[in-house]
Structure formats: C-alpha cells, structure tokens
Amino acid sequence: MKKCALACLALVLLVVGAVLWYLARPYYRDALCRRHLEEICKASGMYAGDFDEVYPDSLRRLVDYGIDPALLTCPAADIPPGALWDIDRWSGYTLVTGISTKSHPSGVFVYCPPENHGGRCGHVAFVDAHVETLTPDAFEALLAERGIATGPEEPPPAP
C-alpha cells in the first residue's frame, strides 16, 4: 500500500513538472531572446570600436566579426541557423542601419518582432545596449514613432 502511494505521488509530481515546464517554456525563450539581443549589442559595440565607431550594417558582418551565428536566431522562432548568405531570412532579428556610437542612446538598434513570440511580445535592443520587452501594440508604436517600417514592403504605385 505504501509503495503504491509513493508511486502515485511520483507520477503526480512528474505530471506537474511536465505541465510547469510546458507553461514556462515561452517565458524561457523570451529570456533567451533578450540575452541574444544583449550579446548582439555587446558584439556590435566591440565592432564599432574596431570600425570607426560605426555599428555593423548587417547581421552577416557580425558573423564575419566572430559572433556565434546561433546568437543571431530568435529561440522562439524555431528556425535553425542556415546559410550565411540567407541570414536575414532565418535570423528572426532585424538590424537598424546607420547606427554609430554617436547615435542617441535610446535609438533602436535591433529588434525581434512579436510574430516570433506567438504574438505575445516583441523585444527591442537600444543603442545603449539595454533590451526591453514590449506588448505588440507598444512594439509597433515605438517602431512607428522611430520611423522604422516592420511590415512587408508596399508594392510600387501603378503607373
């Protein structure tokens, strides 16, 4: 009888652990994405120190500079690193170009859109290397305020 109770308790604990892990998984991926963005900012700051204070203008330059390509993928997007020539497709991150060490610290440098996180939140890394997690509405509003287009490009007007 005592063995049965212990087995039942172990089974219940196993199920509870599996459910908790399943529920916590998106938040773990959010935290990992934020860490990737922080690492991208750190590497970009070092890159700028070596290249006339100008931040890299593409993720590919960061790979050439030595950053691990695995850090350039959003863990929530479930897209494994692919060929470097195709990095913008599989990365999940978008780099804002024209950034230097003289840019305003609150300028957006790199972001991860809410689509990568099931529409729950987006992450934005700023020039001063801090990362914020924003609701989808706040994310869109911030990027619109900064004049950064996130949607698909509009087709050219018909002649």
Query: Which residues of this protein are in contact with Zn ion, per CB under 5 A?
Result: 33, 74, 76, 112, 116
Nearest CA-CA partner of 112 in 68, 153, 59: 59
Please, what is the minimum distance in Å from the beta carbon of residue 117 to Zn ion? 6
> Which residue number, 44 or 116, has a Cβ lying nearer to Zn ion?
116
Cα R_g (the chain), whole angstroms = 20
> Which residue number, 33 or 87, has a Cβ lying nearer to Zn ion?
33
Please, what is the minimum distance in Å from the beta carbon of residue 61 to Zn ion? 20
> Which residue number, 17 or 118, has a Cβ lying nearer to Zn ion?
118
Please, what is the minimum distance in Å from the beta carbon of residue 79 to Zn ion? 11
> Which residue number, 36 or 48, has a Cβ lying nearer to Zn ion?
36
Sheet holding 94-95, edge to edge: 94-95, 108-112, 122-126, 131-134
Residues contacting 46, CB < 8 A, separation 6+: 65
> Which residue number, 74 or 124, has a Cβ lying nearer to Zn ion?
74
What is the spatial distance between Cα 55 and Cα 43, in angstroms, rounded to a whole number? 9
Please, what is the minimum distance in Å from the beta carbon of residue 51 to Zn ion? 26
The per-residue DSSP string of 25-85 comes to HHHHHHHHHHHHHHHHHHHHHHHHHHTTTBPPSSHHHHHHHT--GGGGS-TTTT-----GG
Please, what is the minimum distance in Å from the beta carbon of residue 92 to Zn ion? 6
